[in-house]
Amino acid sequence: MTIDGLDDEIIRRVLTRHRRIALVGASANPDRAAWEIQGLLQRRGYEVTPVNPLLAGQVLQGRDVVARLDDAVPLEIVDVFRASANVPPVVDDAIRLGAKVVWMQLGVVHEQAAARARAAGITVVMDRCPSIEFRRLGIEVSPL
């Protein structure tokens, strides 16, 4: 059993039904996972808005970086590339903005924030990477 308790069908549904992603913790460093995953998601047809207050106003991989999650709406998935300790305020914003999914990347786990999100009806994915899940589940997503 995975830490988030989600079965493969739920992960498949998340990755194939939701296409607008706010990537919190976006990076301008091509050696960082956030950079790699942003590019992967865009190549697979997702509409990605990078979120990072330190990079706001810049362009990463052809997308304008915004300072706050509020500036990334409409959104469906909030993809979190932040340390676990920084997750609670991101989840609070995701709840307020009506996100459908909060996806915490590999190594990112915050049970209390996850419980708040689930109580608000949000699907919570923790300690997973979309790249790994695409390959593992054989998911091919292309532009709409």
Number of domains in the chain: 1
In a domain, 77, yes or no: yes
138, pLDDT greater than 70: yes
Average model confidence (pLDDT) across the chain: 96
In a domain, 65, yes or no: yes
The whole-angstrom separation of Cα 107 and Cα 139 is 22
- Tokens 């979190």 found at: 80
141 closest CA partner among 60, 48, 62: 48
- Residue 7 makes CB contacts below 8 A (sequence gap 6+) with none
Collapsed DSSP state (helix, strand, coil) of residue 23: strand
User: What CATH number does the domain containing 48 carry?
Assistant: 3.40.50.720
The pTM for the full model equals: 0.95
Task: Report yes or no on 112 lying in a domain.
Answer: yes
- The answer as to whether 41 is a domain residue is yes
Mean pLDDT, range 14-41, rounded to an integer: 97
Give exposure, 93-111, as e/b (b: 16+ Cβ within 10 Å): bbbeeebbbbbbbeebebe
Q: Which domain holds residue 67?
A: 8-137
Q: What is the pLDDT of residues 72-84, one digit of tens each?
A: 999 999 999 999 9
Q: Give domain status of residue 108, yes or no.
A: yes
Q: Is residue 94 part of a domain?
A: yes
Per-residue pLDDT band at 2 (split at 50, 70, 90):
confident
Confirm whether 143 is domain-assigned: no
- 3 assigned to some structural domain: no
Residue among 55, 52, 48, 36 at smallest CA distance from 75: 48
